[in-house]
Every structure is written in structure tokens, then in C-alpha cells.
Amino acid sequence: MAAAPAAETLNGFVNPPTDAETLTLYEPSTASAIEVNDHIINHPLAVKLRREKAMTESRPHLKIPVAMRPHNLTGGTLLGEGKIEVPPLTFQDTASELPELVQLSYVGPALCGHPGIVHGGLLATLLDEGLARACFPALPNKVGVTASLKIDYRVPCPAGSYIVLKAQTTKVEGRKAWVKGWIELLGDDEGEGTKLVEAEALFIEPKGAKHMARVYSTQ
């Protein structure tokens, strides 16, 4: 019996769900999650991005094997009621030489540093992961690790906010990719909201990347 979870995890790495399949894997189980999920998937920005042929829609965290999610920071520990309420909804241009990404999320009151203000470390974590995911399609083996991450905080993020992470790959040289991005408040329409924090990062594909397990497949 003990081998069953290990086999399930291995199968999850070898045969991850497709981007389209991840959109069917999440079912909100609380009234608050239903409300947040409906707001995100039906928001004018999501509707606009869904119409763009170059953009692929997915929920990347749902590619993590179920048995591994309790051990994954953003796909398990920080996900749930009062935190990152629902799995972030992601739109990504994976075919471009300089890929871009837009991700819609909700951050709840359990993620605060100062009362009522989302912890800056949480925003840094989201940027680190989001900027990395943006550039992965441009790397030879579609995976990389953070070499540097520079963050500038502009405005505090109120708890209980819908936010948008936007990332743009700016340069790729072999196993290196440079990315810039920011997090802004999600407005009422598809326009830009108040910019909360900006970042620039360098990601490097490890030399043994060809043989690494893919937690987030870009396929």
C-alpha cells in the first residue's frame, strides 16, 4: 500500500495533465472559493486574454501530483481558504521567442505581515515563481532556477485583494533568461490597475536540466 502514493506521484510527473485539463480539475468547495473563482474566470481581463489565439490558459499548480501538493509552497501550503483562495488562473504566450505571462489570483487575510497588508515576502514568492514560469518555454529544456531577483515595492497590497501578475521575458542567451514583471491590483475592467511591486530576475537552466523532473510542465 505504501508504494501507491509513490506510484501516483511518479505517474503525475510522467503523465501530467494538459493545460486544458487543468482547467477542469478544480472545484471550489466553499462559498468564498466559489465567489472568488467565478470573479476570476469571468473577469473582463480573463475574457479578453481567452480570446487571444497566442495565449494558452491553464492552472499550472494543478499539474503538481496530488501527493506532492502538501510539500509545495504555492501549490499546497499557501493555497486555500483565507490564503491564495483558488489556484491562480494563468494565460501564457509559450510560442514566442520572448514569452509573456499574465496570472490572476486572490490573496486573503491569512497572508498578512502587518495587519491588513499582505506580506511582502508572499508577493516576492509569487513574482519569483511567475517570472520563472514566463521564461521557461524559451529555455532549451524548459526549466530553470533563480540566479537573481530584484524587487521594488511601490504600494502596500491590501489583504482580500484580487491581483494580476504580469511577466515579460526580455532576453534569452543559451541557458540564461532575463525577465521583468510586476503585480498590480485587478481593476473592474481589462485595463491596468494600481502597480504594487515590480521585479527583474535572471534564471539559469541547470546543466543537468534534461534529466530533472518537471513540477510545472509547459506542454
Q: Is 168 within 8 Å of 98 (Cβ atoms)?
A: yes
DSSP state of 156: -
Of 62, 211, 54, 53, the C-alpha closest to 140 is 211
How many Cβ atoms from other residues are within 10 Å of residue 61's Cβ? Answer: 24
How many Cβ atoms from other residues are within 10 Å of residue 147's Cβ? Answer: 12
Residues marked as catalytic: 128
Length of the chain: 219
Q: Is 123 within 8 Å of 183 (Cβ atoms)?
A: yes
Q: Is 207 exposed, middle or buried (0-12, 13-18, 19+ CB in 10 A)?
A: exposed
**Residue 203: beta bridge partners?**
146, 177
- Map residue 56 onto helix, strand or coil: strand
